[in-house]
């Protein structure tokens, strides 16, 4: 059941009515949330629900009772082995199967590995990260051992299981255990859901259908100018899609009495890649930092080792998104970009002036360069294959600027205006969100009617997909 569907709206409104019945204790509400979450997952596939349940029981046993038989290192190793096995079976097997067979064929060995036609269980990439957070937090004694139902709810919580954000156990499980749970900021929640619908139905869906998908599916069938526009359009397409999804589930969670972590903070305002990753998919980038980069040694083992750790962490981040060469290249590009920044920090003197006209020019030039590097890397992230990515780059390299200005002035101008007015849009939406609690309730139906009428009238037909649900 799609979270944007009419069926889900009916389900959710009915569920809220039951969920907030005044005589229900918090334990009953947790059980209702577990039942609702497993129902939604089972509607996708009963097998997915059973896999999640089995995995949840394993995590509960490992975190709560594993220390009776195993050392901390053995617990981590067992957890990593199980997650790695699940990812290999459901997510990476086809990729490695083909790569292994090609490698052996080059030395004259013909090996036919068995085919596995398995669907990726919904939420696997997210509840596996949640489980790491819980097991590690318990072992570090940052969090007391939770009850079985609390662990099950933490891993299956339906607003964030499909595409995040990644919830830290130390922040989320106490919310599950809170006996004084209450409806949180309903006006802000309603604003976030409205903003999400606008982003998803209008901006993201329109860009995907008209500028992104046709070109990325067949770069050679379109001009160099159209390929360039598609690159820019995808940068905004994935931003509106993923930030819109985050707004949606944040609003849903508030209605349920939960706060999700901030996952976006105006990423296209970043002036370098380090800053970009503190603004984009924040819950993932902070997880990669805390559970991969720092355990690898972080910046504690010398400058060269630090750069190796950066590259490994970003490449693993790319591989997490999917079993494809394009994702690995995308992650590695970001890693190399951060390494380049670190080299520049060694070579170039620090800027003396942080304010004034020179600093303004410096910041905006840095933002412009960072944005274009991110857009360039998105080509590999979105392309169906490595060959398609190279073909698109080849098409863009033949760009003739006078032709582009003459025949594609409108979409190029729209892209430029979106980039330049983005800081104002961020400031405007942040201001409304911050002051949403001051709005009168009667204004919301008017606002909803205007915004949703605009979105649905201009948006393409069909239900927008959630890009990050595929990872």
Q: How far apart are CA 371 and CA 419, in angstroms?
A: 9
Q: Give the pTM.
A: 0.90
Long-range Cβ pairs for the range 3-12 (8 Å, 24+): 3/162, 3/248, 3/249, 3/252, 3/466, 4/197, 4/200, 4/201, 4/248, 4/463, 4/464, 5/463, 11/36, 12/252
pLDDT score recorded for residue 336: 96
Q: How far is CA 392 from CA 106, 214, 220, 456, in A?
A: 29, 12, 7, 32
Quote the distance between the C-alpha of residue 312 and its chain's center.
19
Of the CA atoms within 13 Å of residue 457, those in its CB half-sphere come to 6
Where in 137-236 does DSSP place strands (E)? none
302 burial level (CB within 10 Å; 0-12, 13-18, 19+): exposed
* Rounded average pLDDT per 10-residue block, the chain, 471 residues: 81 93 91 94 90 95 93 93 87 68 62 57 87 94 94 94 90 93 90 90 88 93 91 95 94 95 94 94 92 88 90 92 88 95 83 71 91 96 93 89 76 88 91 82 76 74 77 70
Cis check for the bond before 271: say yes or no (omega within 30 of 0).
Answer: no
pLDDT score recorded for residue 117: 53
pLDDT score recorded for residue 107: 64
pLDDT score recorded for residue 258: 96
223 backbone φψ class: left, alpha, beta (φ>0; ψ -120 to 50): beta
Q: Quick check: 279 and 267 in contact, CB under 8 A?
A: yes
Q: Quick check: 250 and 243 in contact, CB under 8 A?
A: no
pLDDT score recorded for residue 402: 78
pLDDT score recorded for residue 19: 94
């Amino acid at each position: 059941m799609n979270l944007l569907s009419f069926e889900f709206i009916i389900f959710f409104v009915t569920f809220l009515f039951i969920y907030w019945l005044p005589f229900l204790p918090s334990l009953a509400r947790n059980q209702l949330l577990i039942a609702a979450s497993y129902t939604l997952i089972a509607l996708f596939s009963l097998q997915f629900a059973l896999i999640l349940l089995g995995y949840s029981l394993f995590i509960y046993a490992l975190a709560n009772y594993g220390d009776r038989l195993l050392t901390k290192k053995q617990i981590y190793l067992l957890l990593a082995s199980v997650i790695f096995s699940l990812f290999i079976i459901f997510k990476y097997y086809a990729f490695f199967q083909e790569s292994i067979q090609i490698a052996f064929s080059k030395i004259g060995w013909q090996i036919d590995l068995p085919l596995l036609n398995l669907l990726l269980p919904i939420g696997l990439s997210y509840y596996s990260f949640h489980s790491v957070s819980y097991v590690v937090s318990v072992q570090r004694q940052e969090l007391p051992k939770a009850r079985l139902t609390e662990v099950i709810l933490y891993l299956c919580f339906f607003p964030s299981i499909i595409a995040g954000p990644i919830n830290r156990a130390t922040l989320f499980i106490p919310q599950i255990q809170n006996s004084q749970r209450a409806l949180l900021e309903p006006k802000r929640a309603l604003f976030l859901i409205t903003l999400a619908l606008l982003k998803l139905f209008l901006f993201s869906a329109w860009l995907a259908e008209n500028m992104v998908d046709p070109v990325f599916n067949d770069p050679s069938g379109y001009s160099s100018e159209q390929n360039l526009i598609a690159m820019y359009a995808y940068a905004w397409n994935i931003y509106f899609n993923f930030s819109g999804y985050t707004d949606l589930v944040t609003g849903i969670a508030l209605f349920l009495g939960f706060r999700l972590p901030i996952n976006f903070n105006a990423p296209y305002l970043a002036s370098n890649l380090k800053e970009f990753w503190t603004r984009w998919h924040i819950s993932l980038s902070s997880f990669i930092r805390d559970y991969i980069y720092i355990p690898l040694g972080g910046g504690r083992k010398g400058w060269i080792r630090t750069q190796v750790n950066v590259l490994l962490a970003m490449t693993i981040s790319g591989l997490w998104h999917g079993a494809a060469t394009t994702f690995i290249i995308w992650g590695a590009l970001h890693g190399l970009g951060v390494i380049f920044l670190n080299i520049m920090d060694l070579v170039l003197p620090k800027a003396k002036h942080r304010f004034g006209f020179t600093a303004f020019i410096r910041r905006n030039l840095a933002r412009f360069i960072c944005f274009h590097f991110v857009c360039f890397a998105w080509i590999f992230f979105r392309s169906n294959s490595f060959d398609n990515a190279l073909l698109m780059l080849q098409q863009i390299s033949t760009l003739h600027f006078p032709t582009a200005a003459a025949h594609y002035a409108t979409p190029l101008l729209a892209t430029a205006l979106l980039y330049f007015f983005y800081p104002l849009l961020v400031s405007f939406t942040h201001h409304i969100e911050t002051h949403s609690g001051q709005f009168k309730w009667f204004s919301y139906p008017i606002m909803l009617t205007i915004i949703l009428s605009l979105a649905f009238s201009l948006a393409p037909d069909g239900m927008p997909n959630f890009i990050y649900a595929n990872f």
